[in-house]
Structures are given as C-alpha cells and as structure tokens.
Amino acid sequence: MTCSDEASPAFDYARYLAAKTTVDDRALNRHVLAELCRLMPAGAPRVLEVGAGLGTMVARLMDWGAVGAGEYVLLDEDRRLLDCARRWLCDWAAARGLRGDPLPDGLRVGDLRVRLVHAELGSYLEAAHGARADVVIANAVLDLVDVPTVLPGLLRLLVPGGVYWFTINYDGESIFAPGHPHDDLIVQAYHRDMDERFRYGRPAGESRTGRRLFHYLRAAGAPALAAGSSDWVVSAGPDGTYPGDEAYFLRSILHTIQNALRGRQDRVEPADLADWLAVRGRQLAAGELVYIAHQLDFVGRSPG
C-alpha cells in the first residue's frame, strides 16, 4: 500500500502506522486489555476510536475477539489516512477470508459496521452529537492533545458508565541503545518540543502524558479501574533483522526526532544532531539499534 506523504516523500505516515502494528501488539498491556474485555458490553456495542489512523486497532480487536459485531467509528483529522484505512481494512479482511463490503460512509467487515468520520477532535467535541458510544478508544493519541481540555468532552461522548480504553500514552522515557554521548541532549530537547507544541490554537501534547493521566482521569470523575505499562521495545532478532516492517518504524522515529529538532539550533547544535542521526542510522542498518519508549495504558468507566 502506498499512501505517501507528498510533503515529505521520505516519510510515509500510513506505512509508519502499519509498521507500528506489531510493536503495539507486543506493547499493549494485557492486564488492562483483560479488564477491557471484562467491561466490554455484550451484543453489538457502539465503539468510537479517536485518532484512529489506519484502523489497525479495529483489526487487532477483531483478531483478539474483543469486538465482532455492532458499530465501530474511526475518527481522524486526516482525510487521506481515512482513505488509506478503507483500503487497508479491505485488504486485511480479504486476507482473513472475512467479508469487506463498501458502505457509503465506511465498510462492513464481517458483522461489524466500520464508519469513517473525518473530524478534528476538539471541534468534534464542541459540536452537538447524536448517539453516544458504549466504548471510547484512543491509542497513541492522548499525548498529542491537551488532555485537561479534551478529556471531559471525550468522556461525555460515552453513555453513563460507558467504557474508555486509553492506550500507548507516552510517559517521558525514550531509550536508544547502545548509548551515545548526545542521547540526553537529544531526548530532552525532543521532550521540550512535545511540551511546547501548539496546534489548532491549543497546546498539543505533553511528554509525560502517561503518568499525568492518573490525575486527569480522577479529576474528570473517571479514575482508572486498571492501568499498566505498554512500553515499545524494538530490537532485531538473532539474524540481525527487525520483525515485520519494524526497521521502517525505527526509521520513522528517527525522522520524527530529526523533524522536531532540525530548526532548533538553540537546543541542539546541527552538527550534534547530524552526528547522532548518522550513528543511529548505521546501527539501524546493522540491526544493532534498540529502542524503548515508556508508555501507559488505562481502562475505566465514564462518570454515572
């Protein structure tokens, strides 16, 4: 599948999200997942996933038997990514021998109606809405938005007592091995960039979203019923190759850091950044680069 980013042909966001699938498969916290499965309403629930990207989570939840019928809404601000999602899910369904029938606003996968909604989350929460969801999911998204502003609206999208599952929330630790003298400088500058990012006129993310969610959820009247770590751990196998497309995933992580810091000479000298990226690129090519990112998952119920 090619759904390339024309603004930056070196970086294909859809491919990055597809490559991330196996990394997330390993990382998602199984204790928190078991609690989600226990809380998941029987029958045909209405699930809303915000910042859903390519739709890899709905595929995973079908594979893992957590959802199978009802309605699953994929909401994302990126229309092109939603177009990719339609194709990616059709291919995924075909590979499993499932029906993947197109619908005017999405597709039917087996017994599940998947709807694609193009919207920016903040604007979506401000607008009036119809039916509320039984389950709201956000995977690798809440660290990209202003949680104190967004969270109350997100919980209001749920029926009273509805279930949230907020996963892969970055929590301020990135480890690259083997160590490099510029690691601390680079990671600290990257965290600062995350903490100062603004989009849509609002703060857009925090480098310590994971640990802060304990408090934010409690303050919103929806303390977590289960929480646990969901660290990304990426390394090559004994033969020096990375699983699946995870070498591309690692390249994308390096590219993201490069993009965030290349205009910030005040924080990282361009020569230091170039040296760090060159060393990391060589280690990646040789299958020597190990990457670990600390993240946290949460499951709970909306107030009421």
Ligand X SMILES: C[S@@+](CC[C@H](N)C(=O)[O-])C[C@H]1O[C@@H](n2cnc3c(N)ncnc32)[C@H](O)[C@@H]1O
Q: Are 139 and 49 in contact (CB under 8 A)?
A: yes
- The residue among 5 and 173 lying less far from ligand X, judged by its C-beta, is 5
Q: Are 229 and 295 in contact (CB under 8 A)?
A: yes
Q: Out of 36, 52, 67, 236, which residue is the one contacting ligand X (CB under 6 A)?
A: 52
- The residue among 17 and 236 lying less far from ligand X, judged by its C-beta, is 17
| Least distance from ligand X to the Cβ atom of residue 143, Å | 9
Residues numbered 159-178 forming contacts with ligand X, rule: CB under 6 A: none
Q: Out of 12, 71, 78, 193, which residue is the one contacting ligand X (CB under 6 A)?
A: 78
Q: Does 142 participate in binding ligand X (rule CB under 6 A)? A: no
* Centroid of chain to Cα 195: 18
Q: Does 77 participate in binding ligand X (rule CB under 6 A)? A: yes
Element (H, E) at 135: strand 133-139
Q: Which of 150, 98, 162, 102 is nearest to 125 (CA)?
A: 150
Give me the DSSP letters along 257-292.
HHHHHTT-TTTS-HHHHHHHHHHHHHHHHTT--EEE
Q: Which stretch binds ligand X (CB under 6 A): 31-39, 73-81, 153-161, 176-184?
A: 73-81
Give the separation between CA 204 and CA 227, rounded to whole angstroms.
23
Q: Which stretch binds ligand X (CB under 6 A): 140-148, 176-184, 212-220, 260-268?
A: 140-148
| Least distance from ligand X to the Cβ atom of residue 304, Å | 25
Q: Out of 29, 139, 252, 283, which residue is the one contacting ligand X (CB under 6 A)?
A: 139
Q: Out of 51, 172, 210, 300, which residue is the one contacting ligand X (CB under 6 A)?
A: 51
Return the ∠ at Cα 198 (arms to 27 and 165), rounded to 5°: 30
Q: Does 76 participate in binding ligand X (rule CB under 6 A)? A: yes
Q: Does 120 participate in binding ligand X (rule CB under 6 A)? A: yes
| Least distance from ligand X to the Cβ atom of residue 217, Å | 19
Give the separation between CA 36 and CA 49, rounded to whole angstroms.
14
- The residue among 10 and 200 lying less far from ligand X, judged by its C-beta, is 200
- The residue among 182 and 206 lying less far from ligand X, judged by its C-beta, is 206
The pair of structure tokens assigned to 241 is 């190759």
Give me the DSSP letters along 65-111.
TS--EEEEEEEES-HHHHHHHHHHHHHHHHHTT--EEEETTEEEETE
Give the separation between CA 226 and CA 238, rounded to whole angstroms.
35
- The residue among 106 and 122 lying less far from ligand X, judged by its C-beta, is 122
Give the separation between CA 296 and CA 178, rounded to whole angstroms.
24
Q: Which stretch binds ligand X (CB under 6 A): 70-78, 109-117, 154-162, 230-238?
A: 70-78
Q: Does 27 participate in binding ligand X (rule CB under 6 A)? A: no
Residues that bind ligand X (CB under 6 A): 17, 20, 51-54, 56, 76-78, 81, 120-122, 139-141, 144-145
